[in-house]
Amino acid sequence: MVSLAVAEAAAELSVVQVLSAASPDSFLAAPVPQLDLEFGGIRGDRHFGLTRPSGSREARCYPRGTTILNRRQVTLVSAEELAHVASRLQVPEIRAEWLGANLLVAGLPALSALPAGTRLLFPSGAGLVCTGVNQPCRQPAQVVQEHYPQSTALRQFVRAAMGRRGIAASVECPGLVRPFDRAIVVPPERHVVID
Amino acid sequence: MVSLAVAEAAAELSVVQVLSAASPDSFLAAPVPQLDLEFGGIRGDRHFGLTRPSGSREARCYPRGTTILNRRQVTLVSAEELAHVASRLQVPEIRAEWLGANLLVAGLPALSALPAGTRLLFPSGAGLVCTGVNQPCRQPAQVVQEHYPQSTALRQFVRAAMGRRGIAASVECPGLVRPFDRAIVVPPERHVVID
């Protein structure tokens, strides 16, 4: 087996909107002027913390309620992917607020395909590291349905959003993130075997 | 584009040896009876900490010395991969101690190929999450050379070990790790698009 190291080009994305929990116990997010990323995430957001209790997503790995490292501090969704989901559901739009997302970004064709370990570096010096895909759940389906009572979102959102639900991330380096920021997307180092 | 979710089978690995820093400022590791994983990593090890100053590995991303999340708390190397590297260097063995590794494991054909986001779950309930490949550096080359003065390790170690240098990991769930433990290897959730 022979394979050579190739420096993968870094891509870029644009921040369209930044959001935080609309209220401490709400699934919904609300736009804010900027995010002040700390090592625990976004203070005041429902996902803030260096650790968190494990839930149904980790049921294969840890008994529910186990204190684990919080690798879902920040969630990002893509304007292009949400437009695609809206089109599939035949509704005018799907808003980042309804999905409880913290960053709405644009400019990457497939945000949700970024592998874990991808870094997002912001002009302030802040850095996020992608920790994995964000699987669709049913809560946003209900919110979308409430906004479009004639739609089939409640039944079809999860399927329509599969693979386009964005990513979760941890704060690797604290700092500010603002609308109109352009962020550099750095792929993770690859496994390279030379014979 | 149509793709279906496939539950990937979890693999297993065996813990052969557990190690911690031989002395606070030494690159070398020494075998210990067990590792007591905390959220900061292995107390007393030179990589212990929730955060660390960035170094040359992150020079593309952060000015050197920036305080960043410590995603290199624990390093793992593979008995099979080290045997391959030893064979390429024509030396009898490469020991985990010499590489400053914390876990020597066996049973996975290519530990170093595990993608970031892979979980390793131990019998105690402890969990590690792979944060990426461990790129070869020159320090182990010197140590190997000292053990085999007639060898070409100093010149050839980095190339021989490329892609077989193991992985770095963060502690996702604290707990004990002991020799002879069998750990479950859970692949990261995948990006799945349904049309």
Contact: A69, B129; criterion CB under 8 Å: yes
Q: Which residue of B has its CA nearest to A40?
A: B69
Provide the token pair at A93. Answer: 């739009």
Q: Residue B22: pLDDT band by 50, 70, 90 thresholds?
A: confident
Tell me the average pLDDT of chain B. Answer: 91
**Percentage of residues in chain B with pLDDT exceeding 70?**
95
User: How many Å apart are CA A127 and CA A183, to the nearest integer?
Assistant: 9
- Ramachandran area for residue A65 (φ above 0: left; ψ -120 to 50: alpha; else beta): left
CB contact set of B150 (below 8 Å; sequence gap of 6+):
none
Q: How far is CA B23 from CA B72, B153, B181, in A?
A: 18, 24, 25
The three-class DSSP label of residue B53 is strand
pLDDT at B36 over 80: yes
pLDDT at A22 over 90: no
Give me the pLDDT at residue B4, please: 39
Give me the pLDDT at residue A1, please: 40
Contact: B117, A117; criterion CB under 8 Å: yes
**Chain B residues with CB inside 8 Å of A67's CB?**
173
Residue type, B142: Q
**Percentage of residues in chain A with pLDDT exceeding 70?**
95
Read off the pLDDT of residues B63-83 as tens digits, 9 standing for 90 and up. Answer: 999 999 999 999 999 999 999
Give me the pLDDT at residue B37, please: 98
Provide the token pair at B185. Answer: 């290897």
pLDDT at B27 over 90: no
What is the 3-state secondary structure of chain B?
Answer: CECCCCCCCCEEEEEEEEEEECCCCCCCEEECCCEEEECCEECCCCCCCCEEECCHHHCCCCCCCCEEECCCCEEEEEHHHHHHHHHHHCCCCCCHHHHCCCEEEECCCCHHHCCCCCEEECCCCCEEEEEEECCCCHHHHHHHHHHCCCCCHHHHHHHHHCCCCCEEEEEEECEEECCCCEEEEECCCCCCCEC
**Residues paired with A19 in a beta bridge:** A31
> Which candidate in A60, A66, A69 is best for mutational testing of the B interface (most B CBs within 10 A)?
A69
Read off the pLDDT of residues A126-167 as tens digits, 9 standing for 90 and up. Answer: 999 999 998 767 788 999 999 999 999 889 998 999 999 999
Between A192 and A94, name the one with better pLDDT: A94
Give me the pLDDT at residue B1, please: 40
Between A22 and A157, name the one with better pLDDT: A157
Angle (CA) A73-A79-A83 rounded to 5° is: 125
Closest Cα in chain B, distance from residue A153 (Å): 16
Look up tokens 């292009």; give the residue. A80
Mean pLDDT, residues A115-126: 97
CB contact set of A148 (below 8 Å; sequence gap of 6+):
A89, A91, A92
Give me the pLDDT at residue A136, please: 66
CB contact residues (below 8 A), chain B span 24-63, against chain A: 39, 50-51, 54, 60-63
pLDDT at B6 over 70: no
Contact criterion met (CB below 8 Å) for B94 and B136: no
**Residues paired with A119 in a beta bridge:** A129, A186
Give me the pLDDT at residue A4, please: 39
- Assess B194–A contact: CB distance below 8 Å, yes or no: yes
Provide the token pair at A48. Answer: 């803030």
Main-chain phi, psi angles of A17, to 5 degrees: -155, 145
Mean pLDDT, residues A46-50: 94
Mean pLDDT, residues B176-180: 98
Give me the pLDDT at residue A6, please: 44
Give me the pLDDT at residue A110, please: 93
Nearest by CB to residue A191, choosing from B63, B163, B193, is B163
Give me the pLDDT at residue A189, please: 87
Look up tokens 């739009």; give the residue. A93
Between B118 and A56, name the one with better pLDDT: B118
Q: Residue B20: pLDDT band by 50, 70, 90 thresholds?
A: very high
Please report the ipTM that was assigned to this predicted complex: 0.92
Nearest by CB to residue A162, choosing from B71, B121, B193, is B193
Mean pLDDT, residues B37-46: 96
User: How many Å apart are CA B132 and CA A118, to the nearest integer?
Assistant: 10
- Of B82, B94, B60, B57, which is closest to residue B72 (Cα–Cα)? B57
pLDDT at A2 over 70: no
Read off the pLDDT of residues B89-106 as tens digits, 9 standing for 90 and up. Answer: 999 999 999 999 999 999
Q: Residue B9: pLDDT band by 50, 70, 90 thresholds?
A: low
